[in-house]
Amino acid sequence: MKRKIYLKMKSLREAEGLWLGRFSGKDLVGDREISVSEALGRVTSEPVYAGLSSPSFHAAAMDGVAVKAEETYGANERAPKRLRIGENAHWINTGRPLPPGTDAVIMVEKLHETEPGTVEIHAPAYPWRDVRKVGEDVVATELLFPRNHRIRPFDLGALLGTGVLDLRVKRRPRVAVIPTGNELISGESAGLAGAALEGRVVESNSTILAGMVTQHGGLPVVFPIVEDRFEALLDAVRRAVESDCHMVIVNAGSSSGSEDYTAHVLEKLGEILVHGVAMMPGKPTVLAEVAGKPVIGNPGYPVSAVMSFDCFAAPLLRIMQGLPEGRKPSAKVRLSRPVPSKLGIEEFLRVHLGRVGNRLVATPLPRGAGSITTLTRAEGIIRVPELSEGLSPGDEVEAELLVDERALERTLVMIGSHDMSIDVLSDLMKCDPGGYRLSSANAGSMGGLLALRDGTAHAAGSHLLDEATGEYNRSYVARVLGDRKAALFHLVKREQGLILPKGNPKGIQGLKDLVREDVTFINRQAGSGTRILLDFRLGQESIDSDGIRGYDREEYTHMAVAVDVKSGVSDVGLGIYAAARALDLDFIPVVEEQYDLVIPSAFVEDPRVRVMLKAAASSEFRERVKAMGGYDPGQSGELWMEMG
């Protein structure tokens, strides 16, 4: 059990200090001369001075005739003056040089045509009227840009317009990205999607990291996948450090597993500054210097890899390019539910965000670092400080934004029971030119109604059966929302049924088979619409739930139930047809249920809600949902009832 012991774990702030302190103030990348046409987005490495004045000659500022002002004196309405073209008046267009001897322009709108070759003026010109004099904009030798200035499109015009055709800029930092891991297979090798991977994982972190390098102005150099072997990794890191790269990122092998060689290799080749940072995700980060170059051992979980890059690689890339510290745009948000957190660890909590009423509401996503969708689906990240034991609902905290701040105002927040038809709504909303988005958090039907009660969502997807009346949702909405006005809109009717392994090896026919001794069931969580439905149907068929093996094992989504069955852990579960179909499982319909959208009346006229309801009522929605199977979207988007 030869395992790497972490160096004393550092706080994020300590680690940043050690890391940036080691490398800042040094010229790590150098500069080079490029032509202006290549300069967009580049950063000046020295001050840039105008080579020529602009304009470089006295130029007409208007279309008209160039004249000598003193020859126009005395002209007025009653005593106009005539000027002869080619003698004392010269046609001139904006931007062209004044002919010798002239010092003013009379604009075309003020000229009166009399006879050919002559123009009449009713007012005099004064010297330099409508003329841009030499150097009016810039005089040669003036400072155009200080160093460390990032060139914008119009800056290119100031350069060319003052005779600067080449300039010196910082080199783009080259960053070597070395993927390592025996379990990895490259995207190319993986071939077509769906190919059997035999326990291997498509290597994706290097693509993420390369994208982040690009986004931060660097040039990524992705190495081939290195096997988990000390000598192999040693060799790869040495080659990267000896190359023309300015920074090296090893991903991963930075933890303490038996095949985690990164720290050993970096210790051998250089100096480790930090091994282990009190952050989550991102703890197993190694920060080192090898031959004067920064080398990062970046953790393997994708979210950890991203956070570690953001904390250590990104700021160093900015420093290398002479750019000031960049912080993401952020906003003050309020949490919709409590977030316990571990003391002594700075946590990067991914959250859904959207403006509901007058509050920006944050609803946490799952916290697993292995789940990249906790980033792709999030609108923001809340940093829970090291010294906090957690956050409470209503706490106002700062969230870094992963989407445009304006997008938050156009985000429809839906919390509740998830259904695949919501994905179709989400896609259709993105077709509206208004830039609307749907942010959907899965909290079960009851969770959705509670979110509406608490003012943390605009809409909830709900399929709660009232066992007493056989009616859906109405009584639950009344109970949870009380007097508050709300509208119920139909979305879909859908089939719930038994999800079974392909071929139904145990020959399960219906609910009565759930009590068989050789059958293991997987249940949904208490309070979910599916659980209520199950209990209702068990009651109808007088089946005792005590007799069902696995009744007490709960999953939180249709898909999780299907996965449980697919992987052989359970023999049967209750869920929607779409989940069975997605995983190519068998399905026995048990009941058609009603899935509605519950929307507080205060939000019904909100443009986000209008756009969603329009999408729900569209023929495209109905066709696409129908094609998924197990759905009846006949009334989708229609108002069912108003309450409260």
> According to CB under 8 A, which residues from 111 to 130 bind a copy of itself?
111, 113
586 in helix, strand or coil? strand
* Beta pairing partners, 589: 497
Under the binding rule (CB under 8 A), the answer on residue 420 touching a copy of itself is yes
Smallest distance, a copy of itself to C-beta of residue 140, A: 6
Q: Which is nearer to a copy of itself, 36 or 391 (CB)?
A: 36
Size of the site for a copy of itself (CB under 8 A): 141
How far is Cα 284 from Cα 278, in angstroms, rounded to an integer?
9
* Beta pairing partners, 265: none
Binding test (CB under 8 A) with a copy of itself, winner from 33, 74, 244, 406 = 406
Distances (CA, A) of 512 to 366, 515, 543: 35, 6, 7
From the list 212, 173, 588, the residue with the least C-alpha distance to 375 is 212
Count of CB atoms situated within 10 Å of the CB of 334: 18
Binding test (CB under 8 A) with a copy of itself, winner from 429, 449, 499, 588 = 429
Smallest distance, a copy of itself to C-beta of residue 211, A: 3
Q: Per CB under 8 A, which region of 94-102, 234-242, 512-520, 604-612 contacts a copy of itself?
A: 94-102
Beta strands in 98-159 (DSSP E): 104-107, 112-113, 118-121, 131-132, 143-145
How far is Cα 4 from Cα 73, in angstroms, rounded to an integer?
92
Binding test (CB under 8 A) with a copy of itself, winner from 14, 16, 120, 423 = 423
Q: Which is nearer to a copy of itself, 301 or 521 (CB)?
A: 301
Q: Which is nearer to a copy of itself, 563 or 599 (CB)?
A: 563
Q: Which is nearer to a copy of itself, 216 or 537 (CB)?
A: 216
Under the binding rule (CB under 8 A), the answer on residue 595 touching a copy of itself is no
Q: Are 637 and 613 in contact (CB under 8 A)?
A: yes
Q: Which is nearer to a copy of itself, 322 or 448 (CB)?
A: 322
Q: Which is nearer to a copy of itself, 46 or 535 (CB)?
A: 46
| Residue linked to tokens 């994905």 | 423
* Beta pairing partners, 91: 65
Smallest distance, a copy of itself to C-beta of residue 36, A: 7
Smallest distance, a copy of itself to C-beta of residue 510, A: 26
Count of CB atoms situated within 10 Å of the CB of 613: 22
Under the binding rule (CB under 8 A), the answer on residue 161 touching a copy of itself is yes
Smallest distance, a copy of itself to C-beta of residue 34, A: 13
Q: Are 495 and 419 in contact (CB under 8 A)?
A: no
Smallest distance, a copy of itself to C-beta of residue 498, A: 18
Smallest distance, a copy of itself to C-beta of residue 486, A: 27
Distances (CA, A) of 45 to 151, 297, 574: 11, 30, 64
Binding test (CB under 8 A) with a copy of itself, winner from 90, 149, 172, 334 = 149
Under the binding rule (CB under 8 A), the answer on residue 91 touching a copy of itself is yes
Under the binding rule (CB under 8 A), the answer on residue 154 touching a copy of itself is yes
Under the binding rule (CB under 8 A), the answer on residue 392 touching a copy of itself is no
Beta strands in 93-251 (DSSP E): 104-107, 112-113, 118-121, 131-132, 143-145, 166-170, 174-179, 184-185, 201-202, 219-222, 247-251
> According to CB under 8 A, which residues from 323 to 352 bind a copy of itself?
323-327, 329
406 in helix, strand or coil? helix
> According to CB under 8 A, which residues from 285 to 324 bind a copy of itself?
300-303, 306, 319, 322-324
> According to CB under 8 A, which residues from 556 to 585 bind a copy of itself?
559-560, 562-564, 566-567, 569, 579, 581-583
Q: Which is nearer to a copy of itself, 208 or 534 (CB)?
A: 208
Q: Is 87 exposed, middle or buried (0-12, 13-18, 19+ CB in 10 A)?
A: exposed
Q: Is 193 exposed, middle or buried (0-12, 13-18, 19+ CB in 10 A)?
A: exposed
Q: Which is nearer to a copy of itself, 449 or 522 (CB)?
A: 522
Under the binding rule (CB under 8 A), the answer on residue 618 touching a copy of itself is no
Q: Which is nearer to a copy of itself, 233 or 532 (CB)?
A: 233
> According to CB under 8 A, which residues from 236 to 255 bind a copy of itself?
255
Under the binding rule (CB under 8 A), the answer on residue 430 touching a copy of itself is yes
Binding test (CB under 8 A) with a copy of itself, winner from 11, 207, 475, 618 = 207
| Residue linked to tokens 């949902």 | 625
| Residue linked to tokens 């859908």 | 494
How far is Cα 15 from Cα 8, in angstroms, rounded to an integer?
11
Smallest distance, a copy of itself to C-beta of residue 117, A: 11
Under the binding rule (CB under 8 A), the answer on residue 56 touching a copy of itself is yes
Q: Which is nearer to a copy of itself, 144 or 481 (CB)?
A: 144
Q: In what order do the strands lie in the sheet with 112-113?
A: 81-84, 118-121, 112-113
| Residue linked to tokens 């571990």 | 342
What residues contact residue 625 under an 8 Å CB cut-off, 6+ apart? 421, 424, 492, 631, 633, 636
Smallest distance, a copy of itself to C-beta of residue 21, A: 11
Binding test (CB under 8 A) with a copy of itself, winner from 136, 386, 395, 454 = 136
> According to CB under 8 A, which residues from 438 to 457 bind a copy of itself?
438
> According to CB under 8 A, which residues from 66 to 85 bind a copy of itself?
none
Under the binding rule (CB under 8 A), the answer on residue 435 touching a copy of itself is yes
Distances (CA, A) of 100 to 66, 76, 103, 477: 10, 26, 8, 85
How far is Cα 549 from Cα 532, in angstroms, rounded to an integer?
18
Under the binding rule (CB under 8 A), the answer on residue 137 touching a copy of itself is yes
Q: Which is nearer to a copy of itself, 199 or 507 (CB)?
A: 199
**Each residue of 306-333: b (16+ CB within 10 Å) or e?**
bbbbbbbbbbbbbbbbbbeeeeeebbeb
Under the binding rule (CB under 8 A), the answer on residue 189 touching a copy of itself is no
490-529 footprint of a copy of itself as x/- string (CB under 8 A)? ----------------------------------------
Q: Which is nearer to a copy of itself, 272 or 381 (CB)?
A: 381
> According to CB under 8 A, which residues from 32 to 51 bind a copy of itself?
35-37, 40, 47, 51
> According to CB under 8 A, which residues from 354 to 383 bind a copy of itself?
368, 370-373, 375-376
Smallest distance, a copy of itself to C-beta of residue 82, A: 14
What residues contact residue 157 under an 8 Å CB cut-off, 6+ apart? none
Under the binding rule (CB under 8 A), the answer on residue 275 touching a copy of itself is no
Phi, psi (5° rounding) for residue 438?
A: -115, 125
